Amino acid sequence: MNIRFTLTIIGIFFLLSISKIHANPTGKSVSCHSTLKENLNYKNYKGISFETEKSVRVVTLKMKNNKLKVVSKLTPYKIKKNNIYFKIKFIWYGNIFFEEFNLNRDNLDLINNSKNQVRQLKCKVINGDFMAEMNKVKEKYQSIFQQGVGEKINSF
């Protein structure tokens, strides 16, 4: 009887160990870039940070007067199997637009729908301060933008 009970317990632990279990995303952040080389620009960049068990912070970069700005929005999210879904409403200097997100928890692929466009982004986990990382990304894209503007000004 004791042997059967022990084997049953071992069998249960074995089955639990091979089944896929996802951790709560709270406290985790990702940085997402386009999977297409020609779309590697600030318009296709997203930062995502799961701040609580119910809310996610989405960061996007917007241009105003030739300066990039970090714009963030907090919104609720839903977890369904391997995916995390959320929607946001951005208002940027009078322009209102909606974005939908679908993040695959296994491979960190992000599908972003906005303004009738579907973007596929690849995300990587951020270790450390999320907003500090967003500011570094903004500075990198600002530098690229400035180089592009300088070339246009100095060329005929």
Give the domain CATH number at 29: 2.40.160
Q: Which domain holds residue 34?
A: 23-147
Residue-wise DSSP of 72-95: EEEEEEEEETTEEEEEEEEEETTE
The count of structural domains within the chain is 1
pLDDT > 70: what percent of the chain? 81
Q: Is residue 83, in this structure, part of any structural domain at all?
A: yes
Give dist(CA 56, CA 73) in Å, integer. Answer: 8
Is this structure's pTM higher than 0.85? no
Q: Is residue 3, in this structure, part of any structural domain at all?
A: no
Q: Is residue 11, in this structure, part of any structural domain at all?
A: no
Q: What is the pLDDT of residue 156?
A: 32
pLDDT tens-digit series, residues 54-95: 999 999 999 988 999 999 999 999 999 899 999 998 887 788
Q: Is residue 13, in this structure, part of any structural domain at all?
A: no
Q: Is residue 154, in this structure, part of any structural domain at all?
A: no
E runs forming strands in 53-134: 55-64, 67-80, 83-92, 95-104, 109-114, 117-126
Whether residue 17 is predicted with pLDDT greater than 60 in this model: the reply is no
Whether residue 39 is predicted with pLDDT greater than 80 in this model: the reply is no
Q: Is residue 55, in this structure, part of any structural domain at all?
A: yes
